[in-house]
Amino acid sequence: MTMQYIVDWVTQIIIFIFIGTIIQILLPENQFRKYVEIVLGLFLLLIFLQPVVSLMNISLDLSWHKMEQMLIPENVEENITWNGLETERDAYIWNESKEILMEEANRQLTGQVIRDIDFILEETTLQEMVVYLDEEKEKFIHVDKIIVNDDASYSAQTEKDEQLVKKLQQIWEVNDVPIKIQWGRRLE
């Protein structure tokens, strides 16, 4: 505490006592006067305690600063935990979305079965969907001929893929998201 602080404190006490005395002189003798004296006494007590309160306030500020420094690592750890929970929640939502999309498309597709879907994201925006398809097979298949590297079958397959993409975009109502078709099971 500085000398100026002490001078200001004593000045406050003197001014308050002076104002309190004037108020008591102006009040008539009745029950109301007792309540005014009690209130004035409480205010005077608060003025007397002001240096103690300001000292405690300084020590509380220092204590708060120390506590804040001690709690920072816990806040960082909680933030990491919260981010982990958000990541798990997002993964759960994408997985549920994948299951719903696969179920809906498999009901409407004939001859093909969706085995898996990958979502390619940029931050939280869906950029592309990769759909893993297999031909729906009967229990026994009769194979007549196997042709390798036939350009006509490749262009027919490309047309078939394009038709499938359009149909999947229509089923899922995602015309603005590119869909890539992969035949066979997904490699892990």
Q: Which of 21-25, 72-76, 103-107, 132-136 has the lowest mean pLDDT?
A: 72-76
Pick the residue with more confidence: 166 or 71?
166
The residue with greater pLDDT, 50 or 55, is 50
For residue 14, what pLDDT is reported?
92
Please check the confidence at residue 117 and state whether its pLDDT lies above 70: yes
pLDDT digits (tens, 9 = 90+) for 143-178: 666 666 555 555 556 778 888 888 888 888 887 888
What distance in Å separates the CA atoms of residue 177 and residue 182, rounded to the nearest whole number?
Answer: 16
Mean pLDDT in the chain?
75
Lowest mean pLDDT among 27-31, 35-39, 83-87: 83-87
Q: What is the pLDDT of residue 68?
A: 57
Best mean pLDDT range from 17-26, 103-112, 130-139? 17-26
pLDDT-derived band at 67 (thresholds 50, 70, 90) equals low
pLDDT mean over 77-83: 58
pLDDT band with cut points at 50, 70 and 90 for residue 79: low
**In the prediction, which pLDDT does 109 show?**
80
Concatenate the DSSP letters of all residues of 44-97 into one string.
HHHHHHHHHHHHHHHHHHHHHHHHHHHHHHHHHHHHHHHHHHHHHHHHHHHHHH
Torsion angle of the four alpha carbons 97, 173, 129, 181, in this order, in degrees rounded to the nearest 10: 120
Q: How far apart are the first and last CA of the chain?
A: 72
